[in-house]
Amino acid sequence: MKDAVSIDRRGALLRLALPLAAGLAGTAGAQAAPGRKLVLLVQRGSPNAAVDEQVAQHLGTRGFAVAMLDQAVEPAAAAGAELVVISSTVAAKDVHPGWRQLPVPLLTWENDLLDDLAMTGKRHDVDFGEAAKERYLWLVNAPHPMGAGLPAGVANVYQRQAGISWGRPGLGATTIATLYGQPEKAALFGYEKGATMDYESLAPARRVMVFLGNDGFTNLAPAGRALFDAAVDWAAGAR
């Protein structure tokens, strides 16, 4: 009887230990798993550098391993990245032209860079620009993953009025939202890989433009934050 009891006890302990060990191993594996590499291109020392830091922190909480690099780096710095994000703190003239052909998904809110990326035409304030004091967007493609599940119509994207970037994309773009009352000005749009952009260029990977101004990220209302996250996810292939 003693031997039988001893065997039963050992069996019970083993049955308890195996799930615990598996759980610990799973936890260790999750902690050790590296995040998806994301390159965040910024202008070092810009007046809105603190905003870029907050963007980087937010992206980190969403599972990305963020490498914040200066605007002057060459596109080769994005080797192995799943997504390139270009902040509006960059000076478009100082950004390497090679980002245009980079076969890596790219998202930006620098409207002055849209023509260089072949995402719009070249005319400032005609093909791209910034509306100085806006708060609302008009969501025109709610079913798209970048619509973040929000209802069609007016979306309050900022806590207070601020600058909203816009562009007039090529025919191959998918427009998600426009400036409220100005349907010709797209504030959130994207190109699928292979879609025709401007200048008859084909998108080498997904390309996305979001509506933020220089300090727009810290001013986002819940709907604006949802659209930002959905745009990042779609650009990176998670939606």
Judged by DSSP in three states, 131 sits in: strand
Rounded Cα distance, 37 and 69, in Å: 13
pLDDT reading at 21 higher than 80:
no
Judged by DSSP in three states, 23 sits in: helix
Phi, psi (rounded to 5 degrees) for 12: -65, -40
Q: What is the mean pLDDT of residues 118-128?
A: 97
pLDDT of residue 210: 99
**Average confidence score pLDDT of the chain:** 89
Single-letter amino acid, residue 173: A
Say how far residue 116 (Cα) sits from the centre of its chain.
19
Question: CA torsion, points 22, 25, 27, 28, in degrees to nearest 10?
Answer: 180
Q: What percent of the chain has pLDDT over 90?
A: 83
Confidence label for 7 from pLDDT (cuts 50, 70 and 90): very low
- 237 vs 23, more confident: 237
Closest by Cα among 76, 63, 69, 65 to 40: 69
| pLDDT per residue as tens digits for the range 41-53 | 999 999 999 999 9
| pLDDT per residue as tens digits for the range 190-201 | 999 999 999 889
Confidence label for 34 from pLDDT (cuts 50, 70 and 90): low
- Record the pTM: 0.85
